[in-house]
A and B are shown apart, each in its own frame.
Chain A
C-alpha cells in the first residue's frame, strides 16, 4: 500500500483529501504545518508528498527545497498544492524542487494520474 503524506493546515482540505485518497487505497499521513511536514517526510519516508505552499511555521517552498537538499529524502516526489493559481506560482513551486503542481480546488482525477505516474 502506497504511503502519501498530506502537508496542509486547512482542516477541511485535510479531511476531503485524506478521505478520498484512502478510498482509492492509499495510506494517508497528515501534517498541519511545514515543520511537522518535514519531520514526517524524514521519519515516515512516504512514497509521495502532497504539499500545500502557504503553511504556518515553514512554508511549502522551503519544505520542498530542504527535502530536495537532503540526500536521504530527495527522491521522494512532491506535488505542490496551492490556491495561488496566478501565473508564476507553478514555476516558483517547480523551482523550489516540487515535481508536480496542482491548483485548488483540486481536480481529483488529474491529481490521481499524477500520483500514479510519480509513484510508478
Chain B
C-alpha cells in the first residue's frame, strides 16, 4: 500500500498520454534525430515542388532573369507554409516526412489535435527552423554582430528540444503538442497456449509453490523473450550458441529454485517452457491478490518501505 502511494506521487512517465477514456497509453517520444530526418525529407519535398513550378515559369518565359532568385524564394515560401499545416490536418498530424519516419504529432493533454494547434506549431516552425537555416546560409564575416546573433538563435532553437522531457520545440510548447513514434501492433503467439498446462511437458516437470517464489515479472518476461527467440529460424552457429545459453540458464534456474532432478539436454527447452508456465500462473495469481512482484528483489524492496 505504502509503495503504491509513493509511486502515484511521482511524475508521470514522459512517454505516457491520458486519453479521455482514462487508461494511460504509452507512446514513445520521438527523439531530435528522427525529427530532423523528417524535417529534411519535408524540405526536400517542398523544395522539389517549388523547383518544378519554378522551371515551369521559366519555360513559359513569364519572368525576366533579374527576378528569378526572388521569385524562387517566394515560391518556396508560398509552398512550404500551407504544406505543413494542410498535410498535418489531412493526415492527422503527419507530414510526408513524418510518415516516412513513422512519427506523429499528438496533443499533449490526450485530446484530439485542433486546427489551431497545428497552425500554431507550424507557424512557429518558420521562426524556429527556417529562420536559423537561412541565417546559416547567409552568414558572412562582414557582419559579426548579426552572425553571432544568428548563431545564438540557432543554438537556442536546437537546445530547447533537448532540455525538456518531451522533446518539444517552442512551437510544440505553444500549441500543446509533442511528437511520438507510431507504435506497431504485432500479436505474437501466446507461449502458454502453445504448451498448455495439461500437456506432456507439464506432467513431466512439476514445481512446488516455494520453488516459484524466487523470481518476479522481469525475470519471467526475460525468459519469455528467450523462448520466443529460440523458436525462430536461425543459422547453425546461432543454434549452438543458443543451446549453450539455454543449458546455462537451466542450470542457474535449477540451482536457484532447488530443483533436484537432473534435466537431460534434449529436455532443456521443455523444462524452461514448463517453468515459464508454472511461474507465470503463480505470479499472476499472486498479482490478483495484490502481491505484485516486479523482479527477483521484491522481498527486499518490500522491507525497505
- Do A and B come from the same complex? no
Residues of B at the A interface (CB closer than 8 Å) are none
